[in-house]
Homo-oligomer: A and B are copies of this chain.
Amino acid sequence: MREVAVVGVGMHKWGELWETSIRDMFVMAARNAMNDAGVDNIDSMYIGCMSGGLFAAQEHLASMLADYLGVLPAAAARVETACASAGLAVRMGWMEVASGISDIVLVGGVEKMTDITGDEATFALSTAADTEYEGYSGVTFPGLYAMMANAHMAKYGTTLEQLSQVSVKNHANGALNPEAQYPFPVSLETVMNSTKVAEPLRLLHCSPITDGAAAVILCPVELAKTKFKDHPLVVITGSGHATDTIALHSRADFTTIKAAEVAAKKAYAMAGVGPADIDFAEVHDCFTIAEIMVTEAIGFFEPGQGGPACERGETARDGSKPINTSGGLKSKGHPVGATGAAQIIEITRQLRGEAGKRQLKNPRRGLAQNMGGSGGSSLVHILEVR
């Protein structure tokens, strides 16, 4: 198998984009990524999208977006693992380039979430859980993660302040990201006092509803070395993908996210590294409790230590393990099908030294963890700069 490089990244300002269609958003992100790489055509593409049908009454995005991007008759596929769909797209593109089937592959994702009402969006998102056994019982995603938060607080003593500190940190990072949906800081007091959504989660513990797209260009490392020399060489050295039960009630333990743990172990093994070798990470903070649980699942902190670590500042930009320098899902926004690709974009920009005001000092290796549902799917990728 060939080693795979990231040679182009592109997104756009995320938000409530009522005047921009799903096709326009994706084409903007894809053209930005192609321009960043300096390519005018691609061999194939993979598009993550959670529910084109329920959010935008549009399936068959593969054909539509290949058409509007002007790359017909290139092979194009839409892939889906709920909110981990774009992480899956990255893995599929990595596989296609690694195998030697194609040289230039575009991977990304898109979700147009604000063309329907909030109730309809809540229903659409609930189909990432077990509809018959969870959704039809009235459980929505804030409820599922609230149950996980309660279990984690009961078992480990995780506090509301710690849940809130994740939000404060991610907004502090997002305030420096011009493409973020909510690029402003929030105080601990504001988060703690925000409207209660599902005990113990407040509004500012939850990621928002977002319109957005993100895209990444992959090619073999050997080709990157000769043809794409405008940026430092960023290489995908590890890829892991794992599943867990779709329904939360089927799991032995609510306080860990096993799919993230298994996917991370696979990615570490492929890259030949461990958690101590990772300089920074983008993780799936759909709710702030998720960030805490994931930083434990991927081995950055012992079980129960994710909250205290954030509170001590270890996951801040100047800490030992910076997490979500992009602002995370919380501040940057969470167009569910695009999030996994945006994580790869942030890792790449940091490794290249192109992260602007939020740039870390000389990071060498980053990890991206993308999650579907309440942890039913997880994708983990490790990237290095050479």
Contact = CB atoms under 8 A, between A and B. Distances in A.
B258 A60 contact: no
A129 interface: yes
Which 9 pairs show the lowest CB-CB distances between chains A and B? A63-B376, A99-B99, A75-B241, A60-B82, A53-B53, A53-B54, A64-B246, A73-B242, A63-B246
Contacts of A376: 60, 62-64, 67
A144 to B, nearest CB: 12
Nearest to A62: B81
Contacts of A258: 73
Contact of A245 (B52, B72, B88, B246): B72
A129 B81 CA distance: 23
A99 B95 contact: yes
Interface stretch (A130-138, A159-167, A279-287, A352-360): A130-138
Contacts of A130: 64
A242 B259 CA distance: 33
Given A63-B246, A95-B99, 14 more contacts: A1-B99, A1-B101, A50-B59, A53-B53, A57-B127, A57-B135, A58-B127, A58-B132, A60-B372, A62-B372, A62-B376, A63-B245, A64-B246, A67-B246
**This chain: copies in complex:** 2
A267 to B, nearest CB: 12
A245 B60 contact: no
A259 B73 contact: yes
A135 B52 CA distance: 14
A146 to B, nearest CB: 19
Contacts of A67: 243-247, 250, 376
Nearest to A50: B59
Nearest to A270: B101
A58 B53 CA distance: 11
B80 A127 contact: no
A76 interface: yes
Interface in A45-89: 50-54, 56-60, 62-64, 66-67, 72-82, 88
A131 B242 CA distance: 34
Contacts of A72: 243-245
A98 interface: yes
A123 B127 CA distance: 19
A180 B338 CA distance: 39
Q: Which of A1, A62, A96, A247 has the most B CB atoms < 10 Å from its CB?
A: A62
A74 B376 CA distance: 11
A328 B51 CA distance: 29
11 contacts: A58-B127, A60-B377, A63-B81, A63-B82, A63-B245, A67-B250, A75-B241, A76-B81, A77-B79, A79-B79, A99-B99
B250 A75 contact: no
A262 interface: yes
